[in-house]
Every structure is written in C-alpha cells, then in structure tokens.
Amino acid sequence: MPEGSGGGSISGNGLADLLPVAFQFGRHAAPGPLIGTNVVAAALGRWGSTDRHGAPLSELLDGDATAAWAPVPRRHRAGPSNTPVRAVRSGDGFVLDGTVPRVEAGAPTGCLLVTALVDDAPSHFLVPLDAPGVQVSQLRGLDLVRRYSAVTFQEVTVAASAQVDGAVDDEVLLDLTAVLQAGEIVGAMERAFAITLQWTRDRYSFGRPLGSYQEIKHRMADLRTQLEASAAVTEKAARRVGEGAPDASTWASAARAHAGRVGPELIQDCVQLHGGIGVTFEHDLHLYLRRATVDAQLFGTPGAFTDRVVRLAEAALEGAK
C-alpha cells in the first residue's frame, strides 16, 4: 500500500516487507485473516476509488476490520455463466444471489470482496458479511485455528458504491495470495524442522542420540535442502511480485507450487522422525502439518500452480516469436 493510502514500506517493496510476517504466521500456526485482509486492501488501494472505498480501506489498514477474498473457483473459469454469484442491477445498486462455497475468515464483522457476474461480465463487490441476506455458515476445517465459511447471498442489496472498478485483475491478487501462502508454508516447515532437529539431539536410541545415526543425518540434510529451496524461491517471488515485474506471476506460481508440494511432505517426515509421539494430538507438529496442507490446497493445488507456470511460459514463448 502506498503511503498516500495509509500504507508504507521500509524497503520500498511492501510485499517483501510483509513476507516475514507470513513466515511468522506459519511458524506459530497463528490464526487471523492475514492473507485475505492484505489482498483485499491491495485491491482497494490499487483499483478502488477514494470516495467509494476510502473508509473501508482505512478500517482495514487501521486494524479495525478484516476482509476475505472470494475469487471465482478455478473449476468455474471455463465460462462466465458458471460464476457462482450473480449481480443484477436494481435502481441505484445491485442485488446479489449465489453461494461462495469456501472462504477464509468469514467473520460477521468483516467484509468480502466477491467476484460476481454482471451483464455476462465479471465484476467485483465489497460486501459486509453482516448485511441483510448474507448467510455465513461455518465449515469444519483441517486447520483448527482458522475459521472457514460458506457464504450465501440471498437477494442481498448493495449500493453502487460497493462495486469496485471492473479493472480488478484476479491474476494479480492470485499472485499476492500465492506468495503469502508460500510464506506461511515455509514458516511452518521451518518450525517443524527446528522441533525435529532438537528432537534428534535429545532423543537417545541404543545409548546414542538419534541424530548421530547416518541415516537420520542424511534425512535431515535432505529436509534442510528442501526447506532452503522453498524459502529462496518464495523470497524471490515476493520481490518480483512487489516490483510488478513482467515475470511476477511465474515466480509466484513457482513458489506456491514448490512450497505446496514439499511443505506437507517435509512436515510429515518430521512427524515420522518423532515416532509415536509425533502422531499424538498433544504434540504441536500436527498444527503445522494442518496449516501447510490447507495452504497448499486453498486457491489452487500445487499441480494447478505448476500448470500456471507452464501456461505463462508458453505464452511468453509465443510472444517472443
């Protein structure tokens, strides 16, 4: 966010500054709508208008409100007629109907940036989740410390000011989301690895520390390599997306695909290295495994982001001809 909108950056790259916060959210399996609030704030700051969206943006930046982002699910993007939510013009505003099947942090006090179909074209609306006709149904999620909900719109009337400019680019917002998700996964990986490294030093087997055995040394070295690779590509992606570089989407997708693939696998290996105690509810490892697993699936699987890298590369090659 630029300083003129109430934001600011130490380094000049806001996303690179935010990435360490995402690392910490992953390291501590912290609750809270970090990703949704920042993505919606970025959308309002970039495409919103001061007279229409200045107040909700200020509330987000001040920490007085939270937000969630509900893009069109990837499986619905084959055609606009499949968009889950529709908006019909009514007087000076719009009436929204439809269901968003899954959204993070659907708190009644927050707001939702939702993609809806208006006259056969996608548009974006900022809707308070406590508005009349909005039904928020809490879902049971794998991540035990975050809230996920299905949001249903039943003849929800919103003013014209709720519509965000039609130039909102969901792909740019997806890049931001992908980088922050990768950051959380890397943070969870780091914490799980640190716990396991200490365990291999403290746990004795046949009179020797577990970590003194060559097999364990090799496994820990492999895990550390995967961790450092994920961290490196995620940090690079944050810089490129924050700079608005031409290859930003490629880097964001690569970071999300890599972290989403190796993150849950690394943490599962950490569980196995702990033995029986690693699969108990009382041990913290399952919290990090849950966070990494959910982040690796929400907004797209690792395979989907890998496919996105391929599509972007093919498009770049075609453009170079």
Residues 245 and 142 in one domain: no
User: Do residues 41 and 142 both lie within one domain?
Assistant: yes
Average pLDDT, the chain: 90
Q: Is there a single domain that holds both residue 181 and residue 75?
A: no
Domain boundary among 148, 164, 180: 164
182 and 231 inside one domain: yes
Q: Which of 2, 9, 34 is nearest to 291 (CA)?
A: 34
All residue ranges of the chain with pLDDT < 70 are 1-6, 73-83, 105-109, 166
Structural domain range at position 310: 170-320
Whether residues 99 and 195 fall in one domain: no
Looking at 164, 188, 208, which one is the last position of a domain?
Answer: 164
Q: Give φ, ψ of 162 to 5 degrees.
A: -75, -20
80's CB contacts (< 8 A; 6+ apart) are 117, 120, 121, 122
Task: Count CA atoms within 13 Å of residue 314 on its CB side.
Answer: 6
Tell whether 57 and 114 lie within a shared domain.
Answer: yes
- Residue 34: which of 13, 19, 54 has the closest Cα? 19
Whether residue 70 contacts residue 112, with contact meaning beta carbons closer than 8 Å, is answered with yes
Same domain, 80 and 179: no
pLDDT score at 264: 98
- Give 164's strand partners: 124
| pLDDT tens profile 197-225 | 999 999 998 989 999 999 999 999 999 99
**Statement to judge: residues 226 and 142 lie in one domain:** no
Q: What's at 201, amino acid-wise? A: R
CATH code: domain of residue 259: 1.20.140.10
Q: Are residues 296 and 190 in the same domain?
A: yes
Residues 120 and 182 in one domain: no
The total domain count for the chain is: 2
Domain ends where: 164, 182, 197?
164
Residue 128 and residue 114 in contact, taking contact as beta carbons nearer than 8 Å? no
Residues 37 and 109 in one domain: yes
What pLDDT, on a 0 to 100 scale, did the predictor assign at position 81?
A: 47
Residues 183, 134 share a domain: no
Per-residue pLDDT tens for 1-21?
A: 666 666 778 888 999 999 999
Q: What is the pTM of this model?
A: 0.93
CA dist 273 and 263 (Å) reads 16
